[in-house]
Amino acid sequence: MPGGEILLGRSANLQGCLVESPRPDGSRWIGLAPWDGSQPQWLAQDDRVNAFASIGPKDRLVWCRRAREGTQFDLVVRHDDGEQIIPAPEDGSWLAPQFTGDGRSLVALRLRDGTMSACSFAMGDRAANQAERVLDLSWRATAPMAYQTVVPQRMQLLDGAMWAFFHPRFRRVGLWDARSGQSMLFGIGSSSIIQLDAERFLVATTDGLDIDSLAVGDARSNASRLLDGVWVPLLRLADDRAVIARMRETQVDIVRIELLPPD
């Protein structure tokens, strides 16, 4: 593509996947690359740094934007009638925004003076200008830590109000209800999850694959071991079936599993 490299973005829909294009002048564009391999459709194309985009319901788009010479990212939400700007917090930035699955909330990380928090904004015709809920995550945060925090957002959840994250202080995966403010943490060493039904999750840990019946608001997990070794849950097929994978030297094993009914 003329102008430089393309970086894979953080979201996709039926039309394609989001990409970012760093430009020679230091700016960055956001585009949607069609699945047929044709040229991207540029969604944010100007002389600023546009990054961390995510697609939401009704084809809404949210991303972070700053001037090329700047350091603080504003939050930008694109609606049918134009763009809404939520200015960068004082002495800080917005990072890694994402809509919840039901489209009723927008969650973004606020990073300022080493403090990182998740902030949820109620969504109506437009996003609320002030955060409705705040979840403090770290008081010694960096930008790379923020990127690590949002890796679990690609995980499969059934509850549309939930926001998945990797807790930088407790070093485990968590869920946060963006509307009620309740949160929960999975067991020590958890790194990825998929949700099977209202309360059961498949949870990858550093030494095995667990099933956990933890519900939001619970104080402790109720995990039991299914498989030893490093297995990654990929896809829910039904309440009792899923696809998982593991890496073995030069190959990847992809396995379909079926869970027995609980006693």
For 33, 101, 122, the CA distances from 222, given in Å and listed in that order, are 41, 25, 32
Query: For 105-130, what is each residue's pLDDT tens digit?
Result: 999 999 999 899 999 999 998 999 99
Q: What is the pTM of this model?
A: 0.87
CA 175 centroid distance within chain:
11
Ordered DSSP codes for the chain:
-TTS--EEEEEE-SSEEEEEEE-TTS-EEEEEEETTS-PPEEEE-SSSEEEEEEE-GGG-EEEEEE-TT---PEEEEEETTEEEEEPPPTTEEEEEEEE-TTSSEEEEEEEETTEEEEEEEEBSSSB-SS-SEEEEEESS--HHHHHHHTGGGGSB-S-TTEEEEEETTTTEEEEEETTT--EEE--TT--EEEE-SSS-EEEE-SSEEEEE---TT-SS--EEEEEES--EEEEEEETTEEEEEEEETTEEEEEEEEPPPP-
* Tens digits of residue pLDDT in 25-64: 999 999 999 999 999 999 999 999 999 999 988 789 999 9
Residue 34: how many CB atoms within 10 A of its CB?
Answer: 13
Confidence of residue 217 (pLDDT cuts 50, 70, 90): low
Which pair of tokens denotes residue 246?
């593991």
Predicted confidence at residue 2, as pLDDT, reads: 45
Pick the CATH number of 1-153 from 2.40.50.1020, 2.60.40.10, 2.120.10.30, 3.40.50.620: 2.120.10.30
For residue 18, name the pLDDT band (cuts at 50, 70, 90): very high
